[in-house]
């Protein structure tokens, strides 16, 4: 293992961060923290045509929400910056020129029209044009002209790019932490543009220069970058940096829930679940994309769920905090095969996290959620309310409806069960039960429980007679938290009023039958 572990998450601000990107950030974070290393955020914004306003802020906000806070990077300081590539744009030309001087790159003067024409010509023969060792001899570039000519030409205002001169028929071999040895033949590659006509570097050039200058030890990124890696290896080699080249680790794809094909940003709308960490509105199309945060996921659940999309610990433990993940994450256990996105599993994690959070921690969140529905609760009430419902919700937002009957009249009753159970010979028992309840002085769940049980014994009544009706009268339905807890939290006056209202409603219901 290299001594100084430095990894980077290098998103391009071309839109909101897809959940696959978040997983890449997470694995980088886990790897860095697990080895006492540094997690760096680098913004790769050299493609100005694809730049999207707000995307960078979105990325930073998402990382902060998930507690994946970079140690260096845009917005986080550090000694090897700037960390935004557009602010480094003057640094790259030097390296491209160094490659030209060493004979590993060349100037290409082909106009857009020329390139279009040659591509069309190839297409008409059902072939694809590739700018490479087999075609570069026919093109308008510095390899095909005397040195004084191209040196003179680049001094004029003619437009040109610098391309990598990829050697012919050479095996390029590198180690990948997930895939082991990976081999490409250089003939599969094209002579990638390194420096564009506007003087900006391409992704390949900027990425390699920055990884080198930022002393990146491990490149952990999505599998879609695997085919670019041989080009990167050549760049390291030709720049004389192969000895300090980072190790590569290409993460498996995240697949659609069906297991067929890569999960795309459109799948969110299609399947009805979020594929982004935070809500996002695409200003150019007016499309809205939903985020895990706004859907009511806790950041801990999202992190836990994503960590297991492509990796698992040796004992298959599922619930792990960020700290535990840092401790247990082992890159050698990353899967090669794509990981199927299972939204039900994400919800399960969320439910687990909510139910495991202490009531006192949930209290302020629940208080706010209730307030958003116009329900005023003090923090003590919110804490108890959280305790009553936390096993029953998958999302924080569900707290606002789960116990609405504490704040409003019952909206609808389970009439079928009322009809079945509101029997003439029981009604008087329910009325005296209400009276008895109104006489309990310590309205704690345990005392209420004792009193009701005593009442049942004295009157020879079973649970099956008492509880369904009591529950429906208080809440409208037969399911929910403990009746004693509900009564206690509702408070005596309100509970007794509720019973009175509901019982007279039941009377009318049965009368009208
Ligand atoms: N800017 C690239 C992206 O958007 C980074 C790929 C890499 O990590 O090398 O994913």
Give the pLDDT score at 1. Answer: 53
pLDDT digits (tens, 9 = 90+) for 169-215: 999 999 999 999 999 999 999 999 999 999 999 999 999 999 999 99
pLDDT grade, residue 496 (50/70/90)?
Answer: very high
From 21, 225, 248, mutation site for ligand 1 pocket: most ligand atoms within 8 A of C-beta: 225
Q: What's the pLDDT tens digit per position in 392-439? A: 999 998 999 999 999 999 999 999 999 999 998 889 999 999 999 999
Write out the two tokens for 489. Answer: 């939290």
Calculate the dihedral angle through the C-alpha atoms of 248, 13, 237, 112, rounding to the nearest 10 degrees: 140
Residues of the chain with pLDDT > 90, as a percent, come to 92
Q: What does the pLDDT average to over 64-87?
A: 97
* pLDDT at position 2 over 60: no
- This prediction has a pTM of 0.88
Is the distance from the beta carbon of residue 38 to the nearest atom of ligand 1 less than 6 Å?
Answer: no
Q: Which atom of ligand 1 is nearest to the CA of 14?
A: 4
Using a 6 Å cutoff on CB, does residue 207 contact ligand 1? yes
Average pLDDT, the chain: 96
192 close to ligand 1 (CB < 6 Angstrom): no
221 lines ligand 1 (CB under 6 A): yes
Question: Is the distance from the beta carbon of residue 503 to the nearest atom of ligand 1 less than 6 Å?
Answer: no
**Tens digit of each residue's pLDDT (9 = 90 or more) over 117-169:** 999 999 999 999 999 999 999 999 999 999 999 999 999 999 999 999 999 99
Q: Whose CA is nearest to atom 3 of ligand 1?
A: 11
Probe ligand 1: pick from 7, 12, 21, 86, max atoms within 8 Å of CB? Answer: 12
Q: What is the mean pLDDT of residues 441-448?
A: 97
Torsion sign (Cα): 330, 332, 333, 338 = positive
Q: How far does the centroid of ligand 1 lie from the alpha carbon of residue 148, in Å?
A: 38
User: Quick one: pLDDT at residue 425?
Assistant: 85
Alpha carbon nearest to ligand 1 atom 2, residue: 11
Question: Mean per-residue pLDDT for 60-87?
Answer: 97
Residue 266: pLDDT band (50, 70, 90) is confident
pLDDT at 270: 86
pLDDT of residue 234: 98
DSSP states along 323-386: HHHHHH--GGGB-SS-EE--HHHHHHHHHHHHHHS-HHHHHHHHHHHHHHTT----HHHHHHHH
Per-residue model confidence as pLDDT tens digits over 9-18: 999 999 999 9
The ligand 1 atom nearest the CA atom of 44:
1
Tell me if 44 CB under 6 Å of ligand 1.
yes
Looking at residue 265, its pLDDT comes to 86
Report the alpha-carbon distance of residue 404 to residue 432 in Å, rounded: 27
Which residue numbers are catalytic?
265
């Amino acid at each position: 293992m290299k001594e100084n572990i430095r990894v980077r998450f290098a998103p391009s601000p071309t839109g909101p961060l897809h959940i696959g990107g978040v997983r890449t950030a997470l694995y980088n974070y886990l790897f860095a923290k697990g080895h006492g290393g540094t997690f760096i955020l680098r913004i790769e914004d050299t493609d100005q045509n694809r730049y999207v306003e707000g995307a960078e802020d979105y990325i930073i906000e998402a990382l902060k929400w998930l507690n994946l806070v970079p140690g260096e990077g845009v917005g986080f300081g550090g000694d090897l910056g700037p960390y935004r590539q557009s602010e480094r744009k003057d640094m790259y030309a030097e390296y491209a020129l160094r490659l030209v001087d060493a004979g590993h790159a060349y100037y290409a003067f082909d106009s857009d029209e020329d390139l279009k024409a040659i591509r069309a010509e190839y297409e008409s023969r059902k072939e694809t044009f590739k700018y490479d060792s087999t075609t570069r001899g026919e093109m308008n570039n510095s390899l095909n002209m005397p040195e004084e000519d191209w040196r003179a030409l680049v001094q004029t205002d003619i437009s040109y790019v610098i391309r990598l001169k990829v050697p012919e028929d050479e095996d390029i071999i590198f180690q990948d932490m997930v895939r082991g040895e990976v081999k490409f033949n250089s003939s599969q590659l094209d002579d990638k543009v390194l420096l564009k006509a506007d003087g900006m570097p391409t992704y390949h050039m900027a990425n390699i220069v920055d990884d080198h200058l930022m002393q990146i030890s491990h490149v952990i990124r999505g599998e879609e970058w695997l085919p670019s890696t041989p080009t990167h290896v050549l760049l390291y080699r030709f720049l004389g940096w192969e000895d300090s080249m980072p190790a590569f680790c290409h993460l498996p794809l995240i697949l659609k829930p069906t297991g067929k094909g890569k999960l795309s940003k459109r799948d969110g709308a299609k399947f009805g679940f979020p594929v982004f960490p935070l809500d996002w509105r695409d200003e150019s199309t007016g499309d809205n994309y939903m985020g895990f945060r706004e859907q009511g996921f806790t950041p801990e659940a999202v992190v836990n769920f994503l960590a297991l999309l492509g990796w698992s610990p040796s004992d298959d433990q599922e619930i792990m905090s960020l700290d535990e993940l840092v401790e247990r994450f082992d890159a050698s256990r990353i899967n090669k095969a794509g990981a199927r996105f299972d939204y039900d599993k994400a919800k399960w994690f969320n439910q687990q996290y909510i139910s495991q959070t202490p009531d006192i921690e949930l209290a302020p969140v629940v208080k706010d959620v209730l307030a958003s529905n116009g329900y005023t609760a003090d923090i003590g009430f919110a804490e108890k309310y959280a305790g009553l419902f936390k096993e029953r919700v998958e999302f924080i937002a569900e707290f606002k409806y789960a116990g609405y009957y504490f704040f409003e009249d019952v909206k609808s009753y389970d009439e079928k069960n009322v009809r079945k159970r509101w029997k003439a010979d029981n009604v008087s028992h329910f009325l005296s039960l209400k009276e008895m309840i109104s006489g309990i002085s310590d309205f704690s769940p345990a005392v209420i429980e004792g009193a009701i049980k005593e009442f049942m014994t004295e009157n020879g009544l079973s649970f099956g007679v008492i509880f369904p009706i009591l529950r429906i009268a208080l809440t409208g339905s037969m399911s929910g938290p403990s009746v004693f807890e509900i009564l206690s939290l509702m408070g005596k006056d309100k509970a007794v009023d509720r019973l009175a209202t509901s019982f007279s409603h039941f009377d009318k219901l049965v009368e009208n039958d």
